Amino acid sequence: MALFLILGAGKFGVLALERLAAQDPEARFVVVDRQAAALARARSLGVQRAQLVEAPAIDYLATRMGPHPPWDWLIPMVPVHVAYAWLLAGPLAEQGWGPAAVPDHLKDLAALAITGPEGELYLSRATHVCPNDCAEPEVCPVTGEERGQPLFARLAAASRPELPLFVVASRQLAPGVGGYAPGKLLELADAVTRSSGPLLVATACRCHGVIHGLQRQGD
């Protein structure tokens, strides 16, 4: 009986709860959102095995992530890069780490690349709006193009000794719903804390991803 932690109860968080509950009648859920109205929408689904928690998602994760996480799967449905934000709020807190710009050459890894306010990079192999129930088939259901090497694999291959790139790969758990085992965050934290920086942290599925840079401030 799987336990899912869904961070965010907006449109896609509610879709994740609905689809995962329909797919696995025995599954249990913890749904976290800072807005009571969002949690009310999740409650309206009537999933009896769902615990709804009103709290900031990253704070909740940072205070409850121990060496043996209680959840089987983490579903990030908040508008932040959860792996990166969790690192700064948890394992790297008060250790002098901060954001760094992502090198421009990594824009070549995807058809669409957008730089964010902290120098992070948002990547997509699609230049169209994807259907919200995409199951990540080998052939894109919109364009008919073969997908080839997944984006998470392309990112991992871009890692260099002078600028390591640590990738959390998102796995398809239901149509349009991606996530990863919480233990992957612990592995990420172990790798990052062994590094002196600078470094890159990414989360990606087959077609979409985000990269943040990290360095010790003052370096």
C-alpha distances in Å from residue 198, one per residue of 82, 92, 155: 19, 13, 16
Q: Which pairing describes strands 50-54 and 208-216: parallel, antiparallel, or unpaired?
A: unpaired
Q: Which two tokens stand for residue 108?
A: 């070549």
Q: What is d(CA 198, CA 65) in angstroms, rounded to the nearest whole number?
A: 25
Give this prediction's pTM.
0.94
For the chain, the straight-line distance linking the first and the last C-alpha, in angstroms and rounded, comes to 47
The pLDDT of residue 140: 74
At residue 219, the pLDDT reads 58
Q: Note if the bond before 198 is cis, omega within 30 degrees.
A: yes
> Residue 206 above 70 pLDDT?
yes
E strand segments, 34-86: 50-54, 73-76
Instruction: Evaluate if residue 196 carries a pLDDT over 90.
Output: no
DSSP strand E in the chain: where? 3-7, 28-33, 50-54, 73-76, 97-100, 112-115, 121-124, 165-169, 171-174, 177-179, 199-204, 208-216
- Does residue 218 carry a pLDDT above 70? no
Show me where the domains of the chain are located.
1-79, 81-219
- Which tokens is 178 given? 């991606």
- For residue 35, pLDDT over 90 is answered with yes
pLDDT value at residue 131: 65
Q: Would you place residue 107 in the very low, low, confident or very high pLDDT band (cuts 50, 70, 90)? A: very high
Determine the CATH number of domain 1-79.
Answer: 3.40.50.720
% of the chain exceeding 70 in pLDDT: 95
**Predicted confidence (pLDDT) at residue 78 exceeds the cutoff of 70:** yes
Separation CA 212–CA 194 (nearest Å): 18
Q: Please compute the mean of the pLDDT values over residues 28-47 and round it to a whole number.
A: 96
